[in-house]
Amino acid sequence: MALFGGVNMNKKTMRDIEVTGKKVLVRVDYNVPLDKSGNITDDTRIRATLPTIEYLLSKNAAVVLASHLGRPKGTVAPQYTLLPVAKRLGELLGKEVQFVDECVGPKAEAKAAELKSGQVVLLENLRFHAEEEKNNADFAAKLAKLAEVFVNDAFGVSHRAHASVEGITKYLPAVAGFLMEKEINFLGQAVSSPSHPYVAIIGGAKVSDKIGVIGNLLAKVDTLIIGGGMANTFIAAQGYVTGKSLVEEDKLDLARSLIEDAKKRGVSLLLPTDVVVADQFAADAASKAVSINNIPGDWMALDIGPDTSKAYAAAVKDAKLIVWNGPMGVFEMDVFAKGTEAVAKAVAASEAVSVVGGGDSIAAIEKVGVQKEISHISTGGGASLEFLEGKVLPGIAAINDK
């Protein structure tokens, strides 16, 4: 039995329970990006749920889908309606997806009651009700009334004890959908039984965002690679001039203690030896690669340098497991994307099981075009970080044990 943080991770999936002919409520994460006119600009999250929905339909289940979208803050905010998502899902499934403009109450109940085997309905935005995020028991019970079985396929919100994720499991048998199952398997492996050499790559803007995960990874990895904005705090902590780089002054002691901790544990902690500096935070800034002991006092480091890129690529080459969260530089600007690109290519080329999480990291992987070479792209940024920190995710804990 796999135990993470004392929690049984041997969770029931849709295959462990009778769903044939049943009414099944599936919590999905359809929190998709919308443009100013309300068009869906990326339907990855909708596509990601197709295997679960198609499986249930193949078992003649009647499928009731529930999701949140945006931050309507507990009131009906028409710009956050899930109606366009129902339409897009219908196109992707190649069958009608009904929509009901409520998620609880008489209308939703009538719709769920009349729903036949093989039919799909999407409920309106859960977060139009403040009770959802408060994990209100009555609200959870009302949702539960709509179905006989609950499937959680919304990994991205499983670090939150919300009514549609946690509360509802008190009223219905609760199992994992296929997307959830995949997340638990890949991230679970990294937490409880990692293959070695295990290399973690942590980057992104700030140390403070990822301090929990860095601390936890140091106890597990063979190599920890640090890049991105947060590397500047480590560079400053070693006593180098960092100019106008993003540095968290209040995290310098912490960075020094992490460097010490890595030494004590025999973890190879890789920090930049050179960086790409710019005279301003702009795509057309003057820029150059310098050694970390040569950062001009009025410039800022926006990417790892070419020597560092080579060293990082070499460090992942023979890994058996790679976990990556956070870009190596300001990859949104092409001039500062080279470090991230080099690392992405090295991760893609390695034979290792590779797990990438974080919204910007996934965008970077897609920009480089190597997403097919990554074993698992985690759908939940915050949730995957908390999972890797070894925290108990309430939404996963609430799924029935095998």
**Cα–Cα distance for residue pair 278/302, rounded to 1 Å:** 7
Sign of CA dihedral 128, 131, 135, 138: negative
Q: Tell which one of 326, 380, 390, 395 touches ligand ADP (CB under 6 A).
A: 326
- Residue 161 C-beta-side C-alpha neighbours within 13 Å: 10
If the CB atoms of residues 329 and 394 are measured against ligand ADP, the closer one turns out to be 329
The listed partner (Mg ion, ligand ADP, none) that binds 222, CB under 5 to 8 Å by sort, is none
Under rule CB under 6 A, which residues in 286-315 are in contact with ligand ADP? Answer: 301-302
Instruction: Give me the amino acid identity at 194.
Output: P
Instruction: Return phi, psi of residue 263, to 5°.
Output: -60, -50
The catalytically annotated residue of 11, 27, 45, 220 is 45
Nearest C-alpha neighbor of 400 from the set 89, 180, 176, 99: 176
Residue 153 interacts with ligand ADP (CB under 6 A): yes or no: no
The catalytically annotated residue of 206, 317, 320, 345 is 206
Nearest C-alpha neighbor of 283 from the set 332, 242, 244, 328: 332
Mark whether 160 is an active-site residue: no
Q: Tell which one of 38, 105, 296, 359 touches Mg ion (CB under 5 A).
A: 359
Nearest C-alpha neighbor of 159 from the set 401, 390, 400, 402: 390
Contact between 330 and 285 (Cβ < 8 Å): no
The catalytically annotated residue of 38, 105, 359, 369 is 359
Q: Tell which one of 108, 157, 246, 377 touches ligand ADP (CB under 6 A).
A: 246
Q: Tell which one of 242, 361, 378, 379 touches ligand ADP (CB under 6 A).
A: 361
Exposure class string for 221-234: b at 16+ Cβ within 10 A, else e: bbbbbbbbbbbbbb
Q: Which two tokens stand for residue 114?
A: 């009349």
Mark whether 206 is an active-site residue: yes
Q: Tell which one of 81, 325, 378, 379 touches ligand ADP (CB under 6 A).
A: 325
Of the listed pieces 34-42, 255-263, 306-314, 356-364, which binds Mg ion according to CB under 5 A?
Answer: 356-364
Under rule CB under 6 A, which residues in 184-213 are in contact with ligand ADP? Answer: 204-205, 209
Q: Tell which one of 358, 390, 394, 395 touches ligand ADP (CB under 6 A).
A: 358
Of the listed pieces 82-90, 160-168, 234-242, 322-330, which binds ligand ADP according to CB under 6 A?
Answer: 322-330
Q: Would you call 147 helix, strand, or coil by DSSP?
A: coil
Q: Cβ atoms within 10 A of the Cβ of 258, count?
A: 23
Q: Contacts with ligand ADP: how many residues (CB under 6 A)?
A: 19
Instruction: Return phi, psi of residue 329, to 5°.
Output: -165, -170
Active site residues: 45, 206, 359, 382
Give the footprint of Mg ion on this chain (CB under 5 A): 359-360
